Every structure is written in structure tokens, then in C-alpha cells.
Amino acid sequence: MTKLTNTRVLMIATDGYEEVELFAPRQALLDAGAQVVLASVDTRPIVGVVYDPVTTKSPESKKSITPDLALDEVDAEGFDAIVLPGGLVNPDKMRMQPKAIALIAAFARQGKPVAAICHAPWLLIEADLLRGRRATGWYSVRKDMENAGATVVDEAVVVDGNLITSRMPDDIPAFNAAVIAALGG
């Protein structure tokens, strides 16, 4: 496994994140030796959801997590990559935060990996990062992605330069591997 010692990864999320899309990439990065910092609108604990593919409902998760920093305290210069978990509500709330969009755009300008899964490509749209890029995302955001100028494909993970996208929780192993490879390369 790639060792990511001295690698700092920022994750940003708020209430309504998809539980597995935050915790699984976070754990994979920690296991690889990276330091992972979670930022949110403020430092109050945030609660996710757990999507049930059978009922297509997303009940509130039993887990919460306390962010390490508020968005206003974060500078992209101090990190090597940004990871954006999905869920329906989380990216919709986060894309209304100018500081979140500015951070994502800063990572992209600096050529650092920007990784988004599920509904999180909404944040890439808001930061105007999809024009002319190959990407994927959850089925219901694909038309938005296309309208933002992306060539949308139906693949578990798509890497286009420093942009890494995945469709859904089932794609997390491929997503994690791509993020770790981008940081270890």
C-alpha cells in the first residue's frame, strides 16, 4: 500500500453527508498514513445519512463527527488534496458556501487532486471545474454536469488530470484507490 506520510488531505462536509462516503475515504487515507482534516461551516458536530438502495430513503445516521476546523480557518496552501463526500443534502448546502467553492477552486488552480463522489460534483459545477473534462457522478446530477460542460461517463471512477469523480457508495474502493494513487504519484 502507498504510504502517504507527510500528506495532508482536506475533507469538507456538513449535515446530510452520505456516511460511507465520508468515513470510508477518510479511513482509507488514514490507513495510508495521511493526515485528514475535516472542515465544515463551523465546528459543531455534523450528522450524515445512510442511503438505503431498497427503499431509496436516506434516514439520519446514528454517527456524527466533529469537524476539526471551520471553513473560514482553512487555507488550501496547507493541504495536498481535497475530498468531497456526497449525499443529497450535504453538497447542496455546501455549494451555497462561498468559502467552500473558493477552496475547491484554489485546489484546482494549484493542480492538487480534487475528488468528488455521488452528488458532490455539484460543488465542481459551482466552482466551474467541469468544462471540457471527463467526469461521473450520481445519476440525477449527470445532466447538471453535462450542462456545465463535462463529458459524463458511467464508470466507477474517472480521473481527468487532477479531477477524480465517482458515482456512488459502491464505487468507494475504486474512488479511494484513485485518490491514494494521485497522492502517492
Total residues belonging to the chain? 185
Please give the single-letter amino acid code of residue 60.
Answer: E
Select 8-183's CATH number: 1.10.8.50, 3.40.50.880, 3.40.640.10, 3.40.50.920. Answer: 3.40.50.880
Closest of 158, 180, 179 to residue 167, by C-alpha: 158
Tell me, yes or no, if 88 is annotated catalytic. no
Q: Which one from 93, 112, 119, 167 is the annotated catalytic residue? A: 119
The partner residues of 13 in beta bridges, in order of sequence, read: none
The pLDDT tens digits for 18-41 are 999 999 999 999 999 999 999 999
Q: What is the pLDDT of residue 68?
A: 98
Can you give the pTM of this predicted structure? 0.95
Q: What is the pLDDT of residue 62?
A: 74
CA distances to 22, 131, 159, 161 from 172, in Å: 10, 24, 14, 19
Q: 114-117 and 163-166: which strand pairing?
A: parallel
Average pLDDT of span 89-99: 97
Measured distance CA(119)–CA(48) in Å, rounded: 14
Measured distance CA(185)–CA(170) in Å, rounded: 24
